[in-house]
Amino acid sequence: MKKLLLSTMMLAAGLFAANAAEETIQFTDWYGTATVSGIDAQGPKTQGDITVTFAKGNSQNAPAFNKALEVRLYGGKSADVLDGNTMTVEVPEGMLITSIYLEVGQVDKWGVMTADSGSVEEDADKNATWTGSASTVVLTANRNSADAGVSTQNRYKSMTVTYSQGEVTKCSAPRFNPAAGTYWGSVSVELTCNTDGATMYYTINDGAEQTYSAPIELAEAGTYEINAYAKKDGIDDSDVATATYVVSEPVQCSSIEDYIFNAESEGEGSMFEWTFPVTVVYTMPSYTYVRDEEGSAMLIYGSEVPAYESGDIIPAGIIGGFTNHNGLYEMQNVNVESFGEATSKGNGSPIVMTAGEITADDMNQVVYLDNVTLTWTPNEKYGDPEDIKLTDASGSVNAYDQYRWELEYPASGTLVDLICAVAIYKENVQVYPMQFIDASNEPAGVEGVVAGNTVVMTNADGIVVVAAEAAEVSVYTAAGQLVAAENVAAGETVIGVPAGFYVVKAGNTVAKVIVK
């Protein structure tokens, strides 16, 4: 919503009247009412004269829009790197921004907002106001230097921009999306201009000038320098904007083990293509855990990764980088377009293990811990679980709470079943809890579970159902994926499934079993 304001300026030549405007942007108008991870991937957003561009910056998390109807800007990735997501606010050539007001959303682990010019102040409720004079303002979300070990996020519901509307005498220079840089496989470059009615022209590597009408497709490996400018009758042409794109071929890998081998030998910044399919085992916000056909596991990290379900088989062709994050192997900086649609299902079951069995060799495996005692203490400042330990007869393993997953923890001392991911932090083995399961219904081994007129047990071939009469049997993974559905006759029936934890429903009977 735009409001026109009137300001009066006294110049040496006499009295000059200049209009000012105020534009209020409700972020829900851009992103809807559902959670959107990685809003930076959507490129610039424009309302009226205002253009806003989000970027990941030096954060581990991309900026996001949450179903609480607020934009979330994350601070830097570590205690040593404080600056994180950025929000760039622009107006056309000849206009100047004088104020930006950010309406606060929910407050949680708040960071510090800074700007590349002017100043930012917050009121007691965390509403932020930038003041200054610029046609482009870059706002950055930072960790708080006084408590740099704490990850931060600033949350805003709306933004009001106040700016001058002087006479436009020159076209705005074209903008490039995505930004200049190195891309793998191909890149599609979009040009935009803030001047209404302007026509854009461009050249590639000093070639023939072309009129811009559709995204510029760069599909072949090579280096491309794009020069672009805008023109409109009655005003001056814009300055020439330049961006250089490097299109490279990713290193091809035949398995997860081959991916790790190549990643450790290639230089930083290399990209890799998986020429093999993988099965999704489990997903949490920004974390997608997969296995290949050899059983090796990998974490694909990033909020921009498409949504998949447990058991989905992602086709060959995934492209991404590699990061050793304090000892934990991750695929990061993925090419979103390289993720194909899942067209089939595989075995997405966690691996059944005991606490004492878990070693560094199990990194990124999703495991099922049966009947472990959970102990933890609350963080003094925030109340989040700390010093988490999971213990059974075989030993114990430490756990780390990924607080953004918003997992509800049972009371310390509770006996639980748990689905978790194996992680490494500076050579120390730990797990990330992902789902707590009521341990009151004990899983069955070969001794079986008797419920009503049905016996459910396991053997080396899978799940054994002994029914007194014909029944419909459904078998689910712990994540709720249906892996088998059969109408069994009275007597004994074997349902073949891989090793793992399963929930079996036979008629009105429900049992948990572990196939070893």
Instruction: From first to last of the 516 residues of the chain, give the pLDDT tens digit.
Output: 655 554 444 333 333 334 678 899 999 999 988 888 889 988 899 998 899 999 999 998 999 998 889 999 999 988 899 999 999 999 988 889 999 999 999 888 899 999 999 999 999 999 999 999 999 999 999 999 999 989 999 999 999 999 987 777 888 889 898 888 888 878 999 998 878 899 999 999 999 999 999 999 999 989 999 999 999 999 999 999 999 999 988 999 999 999 999 999 886 678 999 999 999 999 998 899 999 999 999 999 988 899 998 889 999 999 999 999 999 999 998 888 899 999 888 778 888 889 999 999 999 999 988 889 999 999 887 788 999 999 999 999 999 999 888 899 999 999 998 999 999 999 999 999 999 986 654 444 433 444 445 777 778 788 888 887 888 888 887 767 788 888 888 888 899 888 777 888 876 666 777 777
According to DSSP, residue 444 is labeled B
- Closest by CA to 203, choosing from 226, 221, 185, 184, is 226
What is the phi/psi pair of residue 124, to 5°?
Answer: -65, -25
Contact (CB, 8 A) for 114 and 140 = yes
- Does the CA dihedral 280-283-286-287 come out positive or negative? negative
What's the rounded Cα separation, in Å, for the pair 493 and 515? 15
Contact (CB, 8 A) for 161 and 227 = no
What's the rounded Cα separation, in Å, for the pair 107 and 323? 31
What's the rounded Cα separation, in Å, for the pair 224 and 485? 54
What's the rounded Cα separation, in Å, for the pair 457 and 342? 32
What's the rounded Cα separation, in Å, for the pair 270 and 287? 21
Q: What amino acid occupies position 415?
A: L
Residue 49, classed as helix, strand or coil, is coil
Contact (CB, 8 A) for 415 and 470 = no
Q: What is the DSSP string of 143-205?
A: --GGGTTS--EEEEEEEEEEEEE----BPPPPEEES-SEEEES-EEEEEE-SSTT-EEEEEET
pLDDT of residue 199: 97
Contact (CB, 8 A) for 351 and 291 = no
Identify the structural domains of the chain with CATH numbers, from first to last.
2-165 (2.60.120), 175-248 (2.60.40.10), 252-338 (2.40.50), 351-438 (2.40.50.140), 449-515 (2.60.40.3080)
Distances in Å between the Cα of 169 and the Cα atoms of 92, 135, 232, 239, 370 are 11, 14, 10, 13, 71
What's the rounded Cα separation, in Å, for the pair 136 and 475? 57
- Closest by CA to 463, choosing from 446, 482, 487, 438, is 446
Contact (CB, 8 A) for 214 and 187 = no
Residue 219, classed as helix, strand or coil, is coil
Q: How many residues does the chain have?
A: 516
Cα 295–chain centre separation: 25
Q: Which residue's structure tokens are 């049997």?
A: 473
pLDDT of residue 17: 37
- Closest by CA to 325, choosing from 434, 257, 424, is 424
What's the rounded Cα separation, in Å, for the pair 494 and 446? 13
pLDDT of residue 469: 82
Strand order in the sheet with 500-506: 482-488, 471-477, 500-506, 509-515
